[in-house]
Amino acid sequence: MKMKAIFLAAALALGSGAAGAQQFDYGFAGLMGKANRVTLPDLTLGSGKPVQEAPVDLKSGAYYKMKIVADGSAELALSGGDFFRAIWINEIVINNIEVRPMGVHSLEFDAAGEAEISFIAVVPGSFSLSIPGSSGDSQKAVFNIR
């Protein structure tokens, strides 16, 4: 019975209809606001091309956005379960479709295209996204979360 009274009081305090809804701004603010988002250099997927120019330092608790761009020269993927477990993914945008996954292990491109990922770095350490089956340093992206 107490819960029912609490819900009723909350509903009365909020008001009803459009007037009640105007009291709240449901847009992203604080950490998730555009002003706090850091845009990282693009990652490149192309036959014989380096994925990343240099390792990227991230701050634990900070909000980031980066693009993964495939040129279509080969069917390539970026795999990195350890990296994806060290971050909280807000969304992955592919062809203007926003995906909010519970977990990711890899992203594979069968043709030219791009995916944009926004995330919060969480677990400190050094992590990489690499092209499966490759061993060269230029075939991976390294992220250092501090």
> Tens digits of per-residue pLDDT, 47-82?
989 999 999 999 999 999 999 999 999 999 999 999
d(CA 20, CA 41): 42
pLDDT of 139 above 90: yes
Q: Which residue has the tokens 């009640």?
A: 20
pLDDT of the residue at 35:
61
Contact 129, 115 (CB under 8 A): no
125: Cβ contacts below 8 Å, ≥ 6 apart: 86, 144, 145
Give the CA distances from residue 127 to residues 14, 21, 39, 54, 100, in Å, rounded to whole numbers and listed in that order: 45, 43, 18, 13, 21
Average pLDDT value for residue range 110-127: 97
Q: What is the pLDDT of residue 36?
A: 76
The two three-digit tokens of residue 111, written as one number: 């043709």
Strand partners, 145: 58, 125
Tell me which residue range forms the domain holding 100. 26-145
Place of tokens 């890899």: 106
13 domain-assigned: no
Average pLDDT estimate for 117-136: 95
User: Is the C-alpha dihedral spanning 116, 103, 29, 122 positive or negative?
Assistant: negative
Locate 54 and state its tokens.
């240099």
16 within some domain: no
- Which of the pair, 123 or 134, is modelled with greater confidence? 123
Our count of domains for the chain comes to 1
Is residue 75 one of the residues assigned to a domain? yes
The β-bridge relationship of strands 140-145 and 56-58 is parallel
Tell me the average pLDDT of the chain. 84
pLDDT at 12 over 80: no
Q: Where in 71-124 does DSSP place strands (E)?
A: 76-79, 87-94, 97-99, 106-109, 113-121
Q: The domain that contains 38 carries what CATH number?
A: 2.60.40.420
Whether 73 is in a domain gets the answer yes
